[in-house]
């Protein structure tokens, strides 16, 4: 069975939540006319990225009616959107919500907050502590959500693949580290290689949506793309500029890819867990547990 | 002195850099709600490059290039500045700073000559740079414009500029471009070749050149800065790769000594929330838009 995914590569306005809701609603309408069943927006699409102390001003709860209104008019359409989430106990997380018909199906809170070099996320937002997948029913099946830097830690996409994901969705706000030189393009190529590899090793399609535009001195690079379960590129957005790209995935491709390359079926998770337990104990200089817990 | 392969000049993709900087300038205008830019145009490659970038970003009719010669400024510099204005078709204005600067020079110089000794050269140069800043910020109100900075990365790292003078600006389009990268970016933009080919000079006194004043070539300085700053090399590694030890030590010392010019002044924290320490916001946000 075929299904269509739209990647809405856009430039949110920093701190202007209302204006961003309008921008997203407009792009959502355009994606629906393209026949998309899942529309993916970038990390922090509703708020912009370099928020610093604006975080509590732009934060919203996952059940905020403004979020519900997004896509509420199209009951069968899935929408993935990045925002600042305020939890019940007032943690502020860089989250991505998966919505359908205005209902929140799942929220993933960014696990790895880069706080080095040009990044300072850990100072202003709190890290999530769950790696999950959510079943959205046919044709897509189970979706594994993640946010930008989460993908630089292979445990995240691979655990989601082991957990049954039939589609990985990564939303990003990636600033180029050297946009004026070849070094910047090398860094972008690194991002793309990494996604190719996860698709191949996880035998799972990947939808990656990165933002564009400028904030302060940073330039966000875009390059959103949809990969099939064999790691091939289905559709790719340009670098640097806004775009709405739509691609089609075929569920039979996933099925046959996993028959021909049964990496997930062959995976030895208990072996991985034993060795991870041993490494955790060794790094803390503790005796290893006798039995896997 | 240098092994060109082991210690290369910083690379640049000129067309890509132009796109990034033009996008940056447009974003600055959008975030602030300004539609116009004013800058000081000396006739040198830095301000010419910024003028070309700004004209490309917002159009020449919204760019005001102010020429601000002093009595001793070279005629060739001004001719080059006019070349830029003619090439772009931007707005321009000439404000000679001599009558504003000379009374101050009379205060700080003890003899008849306005610019007598080396020690006074720096003070006089600072007065001129700050006077130009006063003119630019006055025109920024009259023209309803933001002041574009024309400092480059080599100058910023070496602190080769006047605090609250040529370093004063609302945004810095070429602040991450080394001097040696600027020439290829300028060529990409179509900056007239007369400007690209002449020796860089602050033109604060007759015969002054940057390389003469710094005592090193931009080629050597940029190779050294690129190794120390961008590649995070130790001094020893720079020397092992073929850079001159005296040069490397001079550059490293100067980068450290000039840190104060690249930062806002520290605030003595006495309250619960202090600007710059734990009151941190993006420079432009909804409430700051005009």
What is the rounded CA–CA span in Å between residue B204 and residue B165? 13
What is the rounded CA–CA span in Å between residue A281 and residue B276? 41
Helix (H) or strand (E) holding B9: none
pLDDT above 80 for A290: no
| Interface predicted TM-score (ipTM) | 0.86
Q: Are A181 and B11 within 8 A, CB to CB?
A: yes
| The pLDDT of residue A229 | 96
Separation in Å, CA of A49 to nearest CA in chain B = 10
What is the rounded CA–CA span in Å between residue A130 and residue B279? 31
| Radius of gyration of chain B, Cα coordinates, nearest whole angstrom | 20
pLDDT above 60 for B112: no
pLDDT digits (tens, 9 = 90+) for B113-127: 555 566 678 888 999
Cα–Cα distances (Å) from A104 to A79, A194, B117, B232, in that order, read: 9, 29, 74, 46
Higher pLDDT among residues A187 and B52, named by residue:
B52
pLDDT above 90 for A55: yes
Q: What's the CA dihedral at B134, B135, B141, B143 to 10 degrees?
A: -160
Mean pLDDT score of chain A, rounded to an integer? 95
Where does the pLDDT of residue B110 fall: very low under 50, low under 70, confident under 90, or very high at 90 and above? low
What is the rounded CA–CA span in Å between residue A16 and residue A33? 26
Separation in Å, CA of A178 to nearest CA in chain B = 9
- The upper half-sphere exposure of residue B149, i.e. CA atoms within 13 Å in the direction of its Cβ, equals 24
Residue to mutate among B27, B149, B169, B232, with most A CBs inside 10 A, is B27
- The upper half-sphere exposure of residue A196, i.e. CA atoms within 13 Å in the direction of its Cβ, equals 9
Residue to mutate among B273, B285, B287, B288, with most A CBs inside 10 A, is B285
pLDDT digits (tens, 9 = 90+) for A217-238: 999 999 999 999 999 999 999 9
Give the SS3 label for residue A205.
coil
In chain B, beta strands by DSSP E = 37-40, 63-67, 91-94, 146-147
Residues in chain A whose Cβ is within 8 Å of chain B = 14-16, 50-54, 176, 179-185, 213-217, 219, 240
| The pLDDT of residue A149 | 97
For the segment A59-67, the average pLDDT, to the nearest whole number, is: 96
Report the b/e string of B185-215 with b at 16+ CB within 10 A.
bbebbebbeebeeeebbbbbbeebebbebbe
For the segment B79-84, the average pLDDT, to the nearest whole number, is: 97
Facing residue for B282 by CB, picked from A14, A176, A180: A14
Pairing of the two strands A142-147 and A134-135: antiparallel
pLDDT digits (tens, 9 = 90+) for B139-187: 999 999 999 999 999 999 999 999 999 999 999 999 999 999 999 999 9
**What are the structural domains of chain B?**
14-214 (3.40.50.620)
Q: Are B186 and B173 in contact (CB under 8 A)?
A: no
pLDDT digits (tens, 9 = 90+) for A84-133: 999 999 999 999 999 999 899 999 999 999 999 999 999 999 999 999 99
**What are the structural domains of chain A?**
2-261 (3.60.110.10), 269-293 (no CATH)
What pairs with residue A78 in β-bridges? A38, A100
Of B127, B130, B202, B131, which Cα lies nearest the Cα of B160?
B202
Pairing of the two strands A103-109 and A92-100: antiparallel
What is the rounded CA–CA span in Å between residue B30 and residue B22? 12
| The pLDDT of residue A182 | 86
Separation in Å, CA of B171 to nearest CA in chain A = 9
pLDDT above 60 for A47: yes
What is the rounded CA–CA span in Å between residue B44 and residue B155? 14
pLDDT digits (tens, 9 = 90+) for B244-285: 999 999 999 999 999 999 999 999 999 999 999 999 998 877
The owner of tokens 């099946």 is A141
Q: Are A95 and A87 in contact (CB under 8 A)?
A: no
Give the SS3 label for residue A200.
helix
The set of long-range contacts for B200-203, using a CB threshold of 8 Å and a minimum separation of 24, is B200/B44, B200/B45, B200/B46, B201/B44, B201/B77, B202/B125, B203/B42, B203/B43, B203/B44, B203/B73, B203/B74, B203/B77
Burial of A272 (0-12, 13-18, 19+ CB in 10 A): middle
The owner of tokens 């990365």 is B153
Helix (H) or strand (E) holding A142: strand A142-147
Share of chain A above pLDDT 90, in %: 90
Backbone angles phi, psi at A234, to 5 degrees: -85, -45
Where does the pLDDT of residue A38 fall: very low under 50, low under 70, confident under 90, or very high at 90 and above? very high
For the segment B104-120, the average pLDDT, to the nearest whole number, is: 69
> ∠B36-B170-B21 over CA atoms, to 5°?
75
What is the rounded CA–CA span in Å between residue A58 and residue A278? 42
Separation in Å, CA of B23 to nearest CA in chain A = 7
| Radius of gyration of chain A, Cα coordinates, nearest whole angstrom | 19
What is the rounded CA–CA span in Å between residue A93 and residue A177? 24
| The pLDDT of residue B117 | 62
| The pLDDT of residue B122 | 85
The owner of tokens 């943690």 is A91
A213 interaction partners in chain B (CB closer than 8 Å): 23, 27
| The pLDDT of residue A1 | 94
């Amino acid at each position: 069975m075929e299904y269509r995914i739209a990647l809405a590569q856009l430039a949110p306005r920093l701190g202007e939540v209302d204006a961003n809701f309008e921008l997203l609603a407009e792009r959502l309408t355009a994606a629906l006319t393209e026949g998309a069943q899942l529309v993916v927006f970038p990390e922090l699409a509703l708020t912009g990225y370099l928020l610093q102390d604006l975080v509590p001003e732009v934060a919203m709860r996952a059940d905020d009616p403004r979020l519900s209104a997004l896509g509420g008019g199209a009951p069968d359409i899935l929408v993935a959107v990045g925002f600042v989430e305020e939890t019940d106990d007032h943690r502020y997380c860089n989250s991505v919500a998966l919505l359908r018909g205005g209902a929140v199906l799942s929220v993933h809170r960014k696990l790895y907050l880069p706080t080095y070099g040009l990044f300072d996320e850990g100072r202003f937002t709190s890290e999530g502590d769950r790696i999950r997948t959510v079943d959205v029913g046919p044709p897509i099946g189970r979706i594994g959500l993640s946010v930008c830097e989460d993908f630089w830690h292979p445990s995240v996409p691979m655990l989601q693949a082991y957990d049954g994901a039939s589609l990985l969705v990564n939303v990003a706000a990636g600033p180029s580290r050297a946009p004026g030189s070849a070094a910047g393009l090398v860094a972008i190529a690194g991002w793309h290689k990494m996604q190719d590899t996860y698709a191949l090793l996880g035998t799972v399609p990947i939808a990656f949506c990165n933002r564009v535009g400028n904030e302060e001195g940073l330039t966000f690079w875009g390059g959103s793309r949809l990969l099939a379960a064999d790691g091939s590129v289905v559709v790719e957005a340009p670098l640097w500029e806004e775009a709405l790209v739509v691609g089609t995935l075929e569920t039979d491709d996933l099925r046959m890819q996993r028959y021909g390359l049964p990496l997930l079926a062959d995976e030895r998770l208990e072996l991985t867990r034993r060795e991870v337990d041993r490494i955790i104990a060794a790094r803390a200089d503790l005796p290893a547990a006798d039995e896997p817990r | 002195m240098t092994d060109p392969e082991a210690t290369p000049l910083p690379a640049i993709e000129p067309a890509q850099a132009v796109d990034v900087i033009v996008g940056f300038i447009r974003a600055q205008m959008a975030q602030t709600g300004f539609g116009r830019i004013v800058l000081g145009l000396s006739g040198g490659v830095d301000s010419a490059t910024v003028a070309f970038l700004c004209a490309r970003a917002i159009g020449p009719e919204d760019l005001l290039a102010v020429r601000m010669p002093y009595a001793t400024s070279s005629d060739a510099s001004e001719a080059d500045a006019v070349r830029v204005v003619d090439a772009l078709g931007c707005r321009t204005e000439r404000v000679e700073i001599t009558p504003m600067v000379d009374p101050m020079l009379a205060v700080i110089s003890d003899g008849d000559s306005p610019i007598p000794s080396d020690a006074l050269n720096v003070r006089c140069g600072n007065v001129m740079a700050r006077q130009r800043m006063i003119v630019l910020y006055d025109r920024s109100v009259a023209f309803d414009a933001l002041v574009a900075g024309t400092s480059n990365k080599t100058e910023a790292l070496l602190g080769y500029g006047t605090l609250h003078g040529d370093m004063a600006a609302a945004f810095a389009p070429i602040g991450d471009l080394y001097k040696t990268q600027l020439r290829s970016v300028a060529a990409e933009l179509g900056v007239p070749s007369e400007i690209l080919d002449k020796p860089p000079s602050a033109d604060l006194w007759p015969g002054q050149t940057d390389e003469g004043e710094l005592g090193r070539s931009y080629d050597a300085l940029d190779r050294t800065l690129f190794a120390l700053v961008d590649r995070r090399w130790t001094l020893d590694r720079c020397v092992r790769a073929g850079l001159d030890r005296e040069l490397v030590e001079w550059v490293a010392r100067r980068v450290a000594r000039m840190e104060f010019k690249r930062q806002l002044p520290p605030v003595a924290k006495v309250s619960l929330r202090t600007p710059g320490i734990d009151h941190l916001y993006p420079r432009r946000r909804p409430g700051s838009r005009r």
